[in-house]
Structure 1
């Protein structure tokens, strides 16, 4: 059974292995020893006891309980742009018109902004190809919503998610080739790698003025707001939960940023508390996510449920073991798909 849990110190090798598999354009987890070590350190610090930090990186891994193998990772940044500036392009429109010449042109523009400063961010979602089946990607991604529902005081009321932008089979980003390369004189993969460790050079080299997109190559224009093929399922999943593209794109690959108010997220709105009864039951029917209410011991899995009474559900011993819960424990549940309530 797959369970999502907070990252632990002994997950270092598993995290390093996942980083080798992410590929170019996956800024938040790259094949880099220094970044992986810093990521693990930040993830462990987020779950230390004490007050609520303004900035924290809550990292979770997906583990196969039978083998102990870690097959995926996901995260939530409590707030972006507080200690380091958060840069993003806002896609806009300018009109150039002349009645005298009978000319009216609408021109798309890109303006660098810090509009999302302080927002919480869904980040670092990666599942190994071998594990991408049986809704395990949905569990890994959506488990974060149950954590946010349980601990809302740790997050901003607004949530964003940067989607990996389009690149070709050779890992080349047409948006970067058409724009960023002219100012950075670096290959996309190298610039992306550096940005994952420090964003100071972005402020130093990025153009401050509004960019007219019609001056870019057609390939670069077409890539604005376009999602990488491998990330398209993740985008659809988040859109089904209520997140929307509102005209902001990544400054490196032009990938879209999705936004929502936290309380408008479907899984957060529809989640509810129930108590647990443990018994052997038939494992079929509608899938639900089930999460615990403990902070540092948070765990989330998915399973069919059976009603055992008002606000009481029956789960199998395997589910109870995966969640480390006992008879009568209070948990949070929500249907994996929209439009269904227990």
Structure 2
């Protein structure tokens, strides 16, 4: 493979020797990021799983996980992003679907309307993009957009590995390390705090959700105000990511995360803006150029995949 243009940040698949860098990044998240837990053994397993998926011959999505990293011009890993090829393959993928119900009493001349949360598996079979995190000192110069959009370039280079729908499960509202929604809805069933349960999910998977999660519809009017206001509300650090997703054509259609009630957005894979704008370019690096300033360029498949941004 030809060399990348020198001195330019780029995105690539994770490697085994990135473990220490990922652990450092995980320590900066403040918790609540399932795909980047501050646990060395779990991160090592994620790296191994990603490398194995890249080596596999895939004709249809099964249960693959891909982890990408942003490497700075100085050679440091300063960001991560991840992709899941198919949700629900190993165990059901749970979401809350928010709907509205209205009750009317003619005797009392009263109408009461409230939202209801339904536990659903509507996204089984979809792909997911997530795990977007940048080092605080790298959150400028368009690096966030480069990292976020690299996931769609990866899908474009490996289309057969992904489904027809892509979702993103955004981090929900957390206050002082606790989730008002978790404390009101799920906490009593699990007997643990939000961060503890979230780490268990990251390390051991979410089968415990199927075992203990309340299955009946939940009337939000019965929840504390703090929990109600958290439904569909992204964490302040996730607002830029939500805006980028919306710019790509992702829409919030009433689904939210079962842990912290963060918004779940979705899009048809082939209609994602970056994906739909991709086109092949018959040229070799480092001479590859486009007539569009700051265009994204991608080359290679599997472990050789690279994405960078054209200079002005």
Would the TM-score normalized by the shorter structure come out above 0.5?
A: yes
The 3-state SS of whatever aligns with 1:38 is helix
The 3-state SS of whatever aligns with 2:280 is strand
1:279 deviates by 8.2
Aligned partners of 1:288 and 1:303 also within 8 Å: yes
Matched, 1:22 2:14: no
Distance 1:214 1:238 in 2: 30
> After superposition, where does 1:142-153 map in structure 2 within 5 Å?
142-153=149-160
Matched, 1:54 2:62: yes
1:72 deviates by 0.8
The 3-state SS of whatever aligns with 1:29 is coil
Q: What is the aligned counterpart of 1:194 among 185, 194, 200?
A: 200
Query: Could you tell me which residue of structure 2 aligns to residue 272 of structure 1?
Result: 279
1:278 deviates by 6.9
Distance 1:278 1:42 in 2: 29
Aligned partners of 1:178 and 1:220 also within 8 Å: yes
Going from structure 1 to structure 2, the CA distance change for 1:280 and 1:158 (only over 3 Å counts) comes to: closer
The 3-state SS of whatever aligns with 1:178 is helix
Distance 1:51 1:298 in 2: 16
Structure 2 runs not aligned, ≥5 long: 1-7
Matched, 1:181 2:187: yes
1:285 deviates by 7.9
Aligned length: 303
Going from structure 1 to structure 2, the CA distance change for 1:101 and 1:268 (only over 3 Å counts) comes to: same
Computed over aligned residues only, the root mean square deviation of the Cα atoms, in angstroms, reads 2.1
Query: Could you tell me which residue of structure 1 aligns to residue 3 of structure 2?
Result: none
Structure 1 runs not aligned, ≥5 long: 306-342
Distance 1:276 1:117 in 2: 39
Q: What is the aligned counterpart of 1:224 among 204, 215, 231?
A: 231
Q: What is the aligned counterpart of 2:72 among 53, 64, 71?
A: 64
1:42 deviates by 1.0
The 3-state SS of whatever aligns with 2:295 is strand
Q: What is the aligned counterpart of 1:299 among 295, 306, 312?
A: 306
State the Cα deviation string for residues 177-234 of structure 1 (Å, max 9, x = none): 2222222221111111111122122122111100000000011100000000011000
Distance 2:224 2:192 in 1: 18
4+ long deviations beyond 3 Å: 275-281
> After superposition, where does 1:76-155 map in structure 2 within 5 Å?
76-155=83-162
Going from structure 1 to structure 2, the CA distance change for 1:64 and 1:279 (only over 3 Å counts) comes to: closer
State the Cα deviation string for residues 274-301 of structure 1 (Å, max 9, x = none): 23477899xx983111101433311000
Task: Considering Cα pairs closer than 8 Å and 6+ residues apart, tell me whether 1 or 2 has the greater RCO.
Answer: 2
Query: Could you tell me which residue of structure 2 aligns to residue 331 of structure 1?
Result: none
1:272 deviates by 1.5
